[in-house]
Amino acid sequence: MELRQLRYFVTVVEEANFTRAAARLHLAQPGLSAQIKQLEKELGQPLLDRSTRSVTLTPVGEAVLPLARAALEASERITHTVDEFAGLMRGHVRLGLISGAANDEIDIAKVLAEFHTDHPQVGISLIEDSSENMYAALRRGELDIALISFSGEDPDPAIAAETVFSTAIAAAVAADATGFGDCITLADLCTHPLISLPRGTGIRGLLEKACAAEHLVPNVAFEGGSPPLLLRLASHDLGVAIVPPIPDENAAALGVRILAIEPPMQGRLALAWHGERLVSPAAKVLLGQLRIALKSWKDPEPMFFRN
Could you report the per-residue pLDDT of 10-31, keeping only the tens digit for each? 999 999 999 999 999 999 999 9
Residue 221, class by beta-carbon neighbours within 10 Å (0-12 exposed, 13-18 middle, 19+ buried)? middle
Greater confidence (279 vs 122) lies with 122
Same domain, 174 and 260: yes
In the chain, what percentage of residues exceed pLDDT 90? 51
Which residue range forms the structural domain that includes residue 95?
A: 91-166+268-304
Greater confidence (306 vs 192) lies with 192
Same domain, 117 and 190: no
The whole-number pLDDT of residue 297 equals 58
Same domain, 137 and 282: yes
pTM of the model: 0.61
The whole-number pLDDT of residue 307 equals 46
Q: What is the DSSP letter of 304?
A: G
The whole-number pLDDT of residue 304 equals 39
Same domain, 175 and 162: no
Same domain, 114 and 244: no
Domain count of the fold of the chain: 3
Q: Which of 67, 86, 105 is the last residue of a domain?
A: 86
Residue 37 has pLDDT above 90, yes or no: yes
Same domain, 75 and 195: no
Distance, in Å, from the CA atom of 267 to the CA atom of 306, rounded to the nearest integer, reads 10
The whole-number pLDDT of residue 44 equals 93
**Torsion angles phi and psi, residue 254, rounded to 5:** -90, -5
DSSP, collapsed to helix, strand or coil, labels residue 233 as: helix
The whole-number pLDDT of residue 305 equals 41
If you compute the radius of gyration of the chain from its CA atoms, what whole number of angstroms results? 24
| Mean pLDDT rounded to a whole number for the chain | 86
pLDDT per residue over 89-122, tens digit each? 678 899 998 865 555 456 788 899 999 998 888 8
Same domain, 58 and 101: no
- Counting every residue, how long is the chain? 307
Same domain, 141 and 278: yes
* Start-to-end Cα distance in the chain: 44
Distance, in Å, from the CA atom of 161 to the CA atom of 147, rounded to the nearest integer, reads 9
- For helices 281-295 and 59-86, angle between their N-to-C axes, nearest 10 degrees: 70
pLDDT per residue over 230-270, tens digit each? 999 999 999 999 988 888 888 999 999 999 999 988 878 88
The whole-number pLDDT of residue 36 equals 94
CATH number of the structural domain spanning residue 278:
3.40.190.10
Same domain, 131 and 207: no
Nearest Cα neighbor of 301 from 224, 255, 233, 244 is 244
Same domain, 285 and 256: no
Q: Which of 66, 86, 106 is the last residue of a domain?
A: 86
CATH number of the structural domain spanning residue 18:
1.10.10.10
The whole-number pLDDT of residue 299 equals 46
Greater confidence (201 vs 218) lies with 218
Same domain, 125 and 256: no
**Buried b / exposed e across 264-296, counting CB within 10 Å, b at 16+?**
ebebbbbbbbbeebebbbbbbbbbebbeebbee
The whole-number pLDDT of residue 262 equals 92
The whole-number pLDDT of residue 300 equals 46
Residue 298 has pLDDT above 90, yes or no: no
The whole-number pLDDT of residue 45 equals 92
Residue 33 has pLDDT above 50, yes or no: yes
Same domain, 27 and 45: yes
